[in-house]
Structure 1
């Protein structure tokens, strides 16, 4: 049976005005797949996302493309072309991925043919019309928002912590304003977001996510400004404190960039069994008479920030590395065969030289102001991701060539941290860790 993926997208406005509900799309796609004897391998739903959103913001679409590259999908179906894309440039970026992996797409309520010049022209025309319609709608919405701001009304539907919206006006919320004020004061004194979370929980009984606090420190609403309009609302903190925190955070980001050489071997691979979230990579420094020693560990932030997950133990990176090596050695020949089978399929698809040349051309376009910063970033991330896969394939193949004549442990111990990380990314899909630090390894 043909392996088919269902893609569903609807923005909040479309669902409200046109009745393009997620349920209606899903029912139609499931019915179509059943009638044509297709095997549904996944459903990908971008809810409340417009088709003009940058590719990086359409999380389910990116998850779909990831599964395409893993070879899990033969065909993608959706109801209409405008559910897929409303702009030509992004359409062809995704189409390149699909063609490289020999995956087709089909609309169940429309008829398109990508195999002929006339068919491709028809798609371009329809995408141009959809793009123009989306741009006009965007301009109307921007005009409404500008009018609201000029009248001192907020276009937002949700107020930040410490505020409330009444009759489109942003007013101070007496019940939560002290929480927001205390978060700013605490960070100003102690420079710790984790400390802010702990203080809010212990002093006010509020569980606040780290991401929320980071957004607060960038939100000028707290000093009475909105989109460049001063005096838009009542401030909760002073300009001096806001700028002081901003400067400190800029210095901290710069220091983090300088420390970017720190390599976590298993970042993105570890998953909490209890809540399903990815474990965060952390480090600590032990001070003793023999000097300072840095060690790495992984923890579940849900257990730390919200106390909703029972997974409170930390996973030591060095111990995890030893356990994984033991598991790998137990069945090494089988794993190496699996690695070879997995990567040989992709070997001919990735041309490192071509990708490097594409990066150089992309840089030239950006320096010549032929593309904007956002477009440059999105394309840069896409190309470097492909380069990483190419490097992983090369690294693993090199290991296989040397393995027959070398002791595996000696070979592994000669790797630098970057090579070790590349090795694990090349053979491990995910590592599930439970609250007792038992692990379940899923190899690629």
Structure 2
């Protein structure tokens, strides 16, 4: 039987970005397992870090890699940058002969192709960073007050936080009631979905989104 170890990662900045959140990662992983994986298969473990992609000291990834070396199961991630945004870090993993890596969004890519993709992605990020700095310098030269732009961004962030707080407060009584009854986070998510209540992002509830509501409240 084919065995997988699933690894997901989000950082604070990634939480609300399309294609990077936990729900999106799980969607891509599910698509791979349902449409591309050999059968039968088994997911023997799932690990998750909430850390920046620039931080290579990730305890859950360390555990996932150790288990992959021990069992021979494939390490399955939704996107390559969920492992790291550093080519050197990704290359080290791919050079490890005891680790079999699979990227759900590139189901047929081999290690050579993944290495090239990682290098190109790093170049693109460096260029975007340089382009952003150049745009800010140009705006400053034209007399644009950059601090004013930051103030507007802060105002939008505060408004978004207030909206999220109000939403959490509106569903908290039901969530807390189910939690007090001993229900798991996933059972609470299922109950909210069955009741037709949308998650804060307008989609399906998951155990993670229920946990966030409880923590925010």
| 8 Å CA contact 2:74, 2:101 repeated in 1 | yes
RMSD: 3.8
User: CA–CA distance in 2 between the matches of 1:63 and 1:106?
Assistant: 17
Q: Is the Cα contact below 8 Å between 1:86 and 1:128 reproduced in 2?
A: no
CA distance in 2, matches of 1:74, 1:43: 12
Look up the match of 2:114.
123
**Could you list the per-position Cα deviations for residues 354-408 of structure 1 after superposition, in whole angstroms to 9, with x for gaps in the alignment?**
xxxxxxxxxxxxxxxxxxxxxxxxxxxxxxxxxxxxxxxxxxxxxxxxxxxxxxx
2:16 aligns to what SS in structure 1? helix
Question: Kindly tell me: are residues 73 and 47 of structure 1, through their superposed partners in 2, closer, same or farther at Cα, counting changes over 3 Å?
Answer: farther
Q: 1:137 to 1:7 in 2, by over 3 A?
A: farther
**1:12 to 1:39, Cα distance in 2 relative to 1, 3 A:** same
Q: Aligned to 1:41, which of 44, 47, 50?
A: 44
The 1:113/1:95 distance shift into structure 2, 3 A limit, reads: closer
Normalised by the size of structure 1, how large is the TM-score? 0.27
Instruction: Show the counterpart of 2:110.
Output: 113
- Whether the aligned pair in 1 keeps the contact of 2:3 and 2:74 (CA below 8 Å) is yes
Q: Name the TM-score, length of structure 2 as normaliser.
A: 0.51
Aligned equivalent of 2:94? 95
Question: Which one scores higher on RCO, CA 8 angstroms, separation ≥ 6?
Answer: 2
Residue 21 (structure 1) aligns with: 21
Partner residue of 2:82? 83
Kindly name which structure, 1 or 2, has the bigger radius of gyration based on alpha carbons.
Answer: 1
Is contact 1:85-1:127 (8 Å) kept? Answer: no
Q: How many residues align?
A: 145
- Name the counterpart of 2:194: none
Partner Cα distance (1:144, 1:60) in 2:
38
Alpha-carbon distance in structure 2 between the residues aligned to 1:60 and 1:23: 18
Aligned-pair CA distance for 1:135:
2.2
The 2-side partners of 1:40 and 1:124 are apart by 25
- Tell me, in whole angstroms, the C-alpha distance in 2 between the residues paired with 1:73 and 1:145: 48
Unaligned runs of 5+ in 2: 141-145, 158-217
Q: Secondary structure at the match of 1:55?
A: coil
CA contact 1:33–1:40 (8 Å) conserved in 2 = no
CA distance in 2, matches of 1:30, 1:167: 34
Q: Give the direction of change, closer, same or farther, for the CA distance of 1:140–1:42 in structure 2 (3 Å limit).
A: farther
Q: Distance in 1 between matches of 2:135 and 2:48?
A: 29
Gaps of 5+ in 1: 115-119, 158-164, 169-444
How big is each residue's C-alpha offset from its partner over 1:129-148, in whole Å with a ceiling of 9 and x where there is no partner? 1001222344567789998x
Residues 1:55 and 2:59 are matched in the alignment: no
